[in-house]
Amino acid sequence: MIYFQASGLSDADIIKQFIVRKKEFEKVISVIKRDDMEGSIQHFIYIGQRGSGKSTLLRRIQAEINTDNQLNKRLIAVNLSEEQAGIYRLYDLWERVCNELSTQKFDIEEPDWDNYSDNPMDYTNALYFSMQKALEKKGKKLVLLLDNIDRILENIKKEENRLFRELMQNHKDFRIIGGSTRLSEHHWKYDEPFYEFFNIIRLLPLNQDEVKELLIFWSEFLEEPSLKQFVGHSEGKLNAVRILSDGMPRTMLHFVELLIKQPNEYGYEYLKMIVDRATPIYQERLGNLSPLQQKVVLEISFFWEAVKVKALSKTAKVESKTLSAVLGQLTDMQILEKVKGEGKNYAYRIKERFFNLWLIMTQGGPKQKNQAKYLTIFLETWYAPEELRNLYEIYSRDLRDKKVSPDRAALMTPAFAHSKHISAAERDDLIEQTKTMVKSDLNYYNQLPPKTSEIYDRVEELIENGKYEKAINHLHSIDQNEHYKSFLLGYINHCKGDIESAVKYYEKAAEEGVGDAIIILGLLYIKKGNLDQVEGFFKRVSKTGYPNGLLTLILMLYKQNKHKEIAALYVNKAVNEFGKMHPRSKPVHMILSLWIGETGIMSEAKVVMHQLGLDESTRTLELLIKGSLVHHQKNIVWNWFQDEKLGEPLKEIVRPLYYTAAHFINSKEAKQVRLSQPPELEETVQSIIENIRERQRFYYPEES
């Protein structure tokens, strides 16, 4: 067993082995070094969980005072790490300090208890005076290192705490550096003597770099090379360990040891073993809560996902108001986290996922049934995505090679099937293989989830029958981030008229590259007309590179004559994506450019018309001519018909448009053309004119 304990190490060893928490050390020692303790004396408390390094810090400070000649000339450090258990009165504390000073050759005249037995406070004062005198004699001040100071303050009566504080206020003999697992009420209750009296330094979880540094040091120090290898090769797992142990050095070692010794385990038994390992840490966490807080934590853990107060109130059978208060407390304690839900209500969930897992696995709940679910959760918490992929590959290969027993397959396949780190196709493949393998045993067979494709078939059927809620439930049984799942969820909500939810899911599907979702989303956004949203959406679409997505969207804007300024930014890009060589590319580009006020492109119009004329692309020609007329390009259009080379073939292909154009021109030639218009075309031409005028009014309303 790898084990590390600070107490009992020599000064030299503790200095050598002090690797992390350097800044927390430095903060206190710099004050100790700077301050001669003749003016204000700053007292400190380190607050951190068990195993966070408090005792090591206190021991390190002691070692610094012992070994730094500048410091030990004027200071003496007393560390009551072992002796604090029996401190129930303030005089117990001073007695222990005096004893310790005596062993360090301080001349203490201990007062006789018999003289004070009727007034213990006087005895306390007398002891203090003895200590003060002894310190003065040696010209030294005391640095008192008190681990678990919260327990000491709790054991001592309130009136003695008053005396304690009074001594600190009235004299300049000692400085306290405490360690505590929590911020006790002595610090935060307004009527307590030590209300906001200490400078609190919180020992936060170590970050990834600190963890690495520590493990590498241990590896060398404990001559355990596997630790170093682990750091080098298991980035993901290292992070999982850090999260699991909340970055607390001591507990981290336990987990790392487990990983080194059994690196390739991933089954349910392994999970149980890890959960057992975590028990002391989590048990302590739970033990620090009030019975009501414990109940609420446990109830939330069974939900796994974030839950709203109302739903929780129902299952926990705790009145909403009380529940809200408890939820607030637990959130403040960092046990829960608040998630913004729909509407103004918040939802809550257990912050540390592994703690949640531990709760549901050890504190009751429907265990057997959900073994596979826990296993999935475990796998996803414990392993980095790429490691999980590796495990999947191994498992999938073993399955193919028939190296997996049916009972194990019936548990492991669903566990992997529910992981979001494998694809839907891989999921279906695993299920298919396992089904073939266990088909003779109905019990195992029934434990297997349906394949994704089966779920989709069923969902589509349900949508057709208008059974939306059922369809949604079915879709949620697919754990993978499947794009089609998101699209269907969007579609169902769209059908239900819940546009807000529909947009949310379409967004997800669009992110996953579903083209239809992009187009529908574009439609919805353009319909809603929020400029920022539309612009943001364009930016995204332009980045995703969905084929013709941009152009489709710009055409939507064009059709609705909205957000020209956004379209203007993307027209060129959209046309380029559409493909410059596409026969309709230029005409579309031209119309859109006219719409946004970019007229330069029309210089190429004649060449384009020429090509189109020769190719006899009637519809495209119509599009360009009508579009040009709508956007007030009557003279250009007229010129095309008058062009020496182009004119005649053009008149042949789009004759009604020739007469239409003539109606927009006020010249002798045009008048002549109008007069020569055959009567059978009159209706057609009139209808085109009306359409153009109507569209002009639509695009240029200020003129109408």
Partner 1 sequence: MNWKHPKTIIGAPAEGDVFYRREYINAQFWRKAARGEHLLISAPRRVGKTSVMKDLEQNCIDGFIAVYSDIESCKNQAEFYRRLYNLLLGLVQKSKRYKTILADFLKSRDIGEINTTGIKIERKDLDFKNELFELIKICGKEDTKIILMLDEFPDVVSAIEKKEGKEAAINVLHTLRNLRHDKSFSNIILVLAGSIGIDHVISSLDRPKLINDLVPITISELDIVEAEELIHQLIDDATMKISTSERAYMIEKISHLLPYYIQVFIDKSDYLLHKENRIELTREDIDRVFNLIIEQNSYFEDWEQRLKRYLPKKDFEYCIGILTRCAHTNQYPLQKAFDFSHKAIPKTPYKSLLDSVLVKDGYLIEKNNNFRFLSPFLKAWWQKRHPEFEIMN
- Which of 31, 243, 273, 499 is close enough to bind partner 1 by CB under 8 A? 31
3-state secondary structure 626-655: HHHHHCCCHHHHHHHHHCCCCHHHHHHHCH
345 binds partner 1 (CB under 8 A): no
Q: Which stretch binds partner 1 (CB under 8 A): 168-176, 233-241, 361-369, 631-639?
A: 168-176
C-alpha span between 341 and 233 (Å, rounded): 39
Q: Which stretch binds partner 1 (CB under 8 A): 70-78, 97-105, 148-156, 167-175?
A: 167-175
128 binds partner 1 (CB under 8 A): yes
Q: How far is CA 644 from the centre of its chain?
A: 68
Query: Which residue do the tokens 């590259």 mark?
Result: 513
Closest CB to partner 1 among residues 288, 635: 288
CB-based contact 294:287 (threshold 8 Å): no
Q: Which helix (H) or strand (E) holds 687?
A: helix 682-699
138 binds partner 1 (CB under 8 A): no
| Other CB atoms within 10 Å distance of the CB of residue 702 | 5
Site for partner 1, residues 276 to 335, rule: CB under 8 A: 325, 328-329, 332-334
594 binds partner 1 (CB under 8 A): no
Closest CB to partner 1 among residues 189, 314: 189
- Which of 190, 209, 597, 600 is close enough to bind partner 1 by CB under 8 A? 190
Give CA separation, 165 vs 95, 194, 196, in Å: 17, 7, 12
191 binds partner 1 (CB under 8 A): yes
C-alpha span between 656 and 691 (Å, rounded): 13
- Count of residues near partner 1 by CB under 8 A: 52
CB-based contact 431:449 (threshold 8 Å): yes
125 binds partner 1 (CB under 8 A): yes
Closest separation between CB of residue 190 and partner 1, Å?
4
CB-based contact 674:663 (threshold 8 Å): yes
684 binds partner 1 (CB under 8 A): no
134 binds partner 1 (CB under 8 A): no
566 binds partner 1 (CB under 8 A): no
Closest separation between CB of residue 427 and partner 1, Å?
40
C-alpha span between 32 and 71 (Å, rounded): 8
C-alpha span between 1 and 257 (Å, rounded): 8
CB-based contact 406:444 (threshold 8 Å): yes
Closest CB to partner 1 among residues 45, 566: 45
CB-based contact 384:237 (threshold 8 Å): yes
Query: Which residue do the tokens 């970019």 mark?
Result: 598
121 binds partner 1 (CB under 8 A): yes
- Which of 26, 109, 604, 690 is close enough to bind partner 1 by CB under 8 A? 26
Q: Which stretch binds partner 1 (CB under 8 A): 198-206, 400-408, 434-442, 486-494?
A: 198-206
400 binds partner 1 (CB under 8 A): no
Closest CB to partner 1 among residues 338, 606: 338
C-alpha span between 203 and 217 (Å, rounded): 20
Give CA separation, 669 vs 484, 639, 685, in Å: 60, 12, 18
C-alpha span between 614 and 601 (Å, rounded): 21
41 binds partner 1 (CB under 8 A): yes
Rg (CA), the chain: 39
- Which of 50, 89, 138, 162 is close enough to bind partner 1 by CB under 8 A? 162
- Which of 57, 97, 163, 661 is close enough to bind partner 1 by CB under 8 A? 163
C-alpha span between 249 and 233 (Å, rounded): 19
- Binding-site string for partner 1 from residue 4 to residue 23, where x marks contact by CB under 8 A and - marks none: -------------------x
Residue 353 sits at φ, ψ, to 5 deg, of: -65, -35
Q: Which stretch binds partner 1 (CB under 8 A): 63-71, 166-174, 532-540, 661-669?
A: 166-174
In single-letter form, the type of residue at position 109 comes to: E
Closest separation between CB of residue 32 and partner 1, Å?
12
Of the candidates 671, 584, 677, 665, the one whose C-alpha atom is nearest the C-alpha of residue 632 is 665
C-alpha span between 32 and 42 (Å, rounded): 9
- Binding-site string for partner 1 from residue 411 to residue 450, where x marks contact by CB under 8 A and - marks none: ----------------------------------------
Closest separation between CB of residue 166 and partner 1, Å?
5
- Which of 88, 113, 129, 698 is close enough to bind partner 1 by CB under 8 A? 129
Q: Which stretch binds partner 1 (CB under 8 A): 187-195, 348-356, 514-522, 534-542?
A: 187-195
170 binds partner 1 (CB under 8 A): yes
Give CA separation, 278 vs 352, 357, 384, in Å: 13, 11, 19
Closest separation between CB of residue 203 and partner 1, Å?
12
113 binds partner 1 (CB under 8 A): no
What would the two tokens of residue 100 be?
């310790």
DSSP bridge pairs for 298: none
Q: Binding residues for partner 1, per CB under 8 A?
A: 23, 26-27, 30-31, 38-43, 121-122, 125-126, 128-129, 132-133, 159-160, 162-163, 165-166, 168-171, 183, 185, 187-191, 193-202, 325, 328-329, 332-334
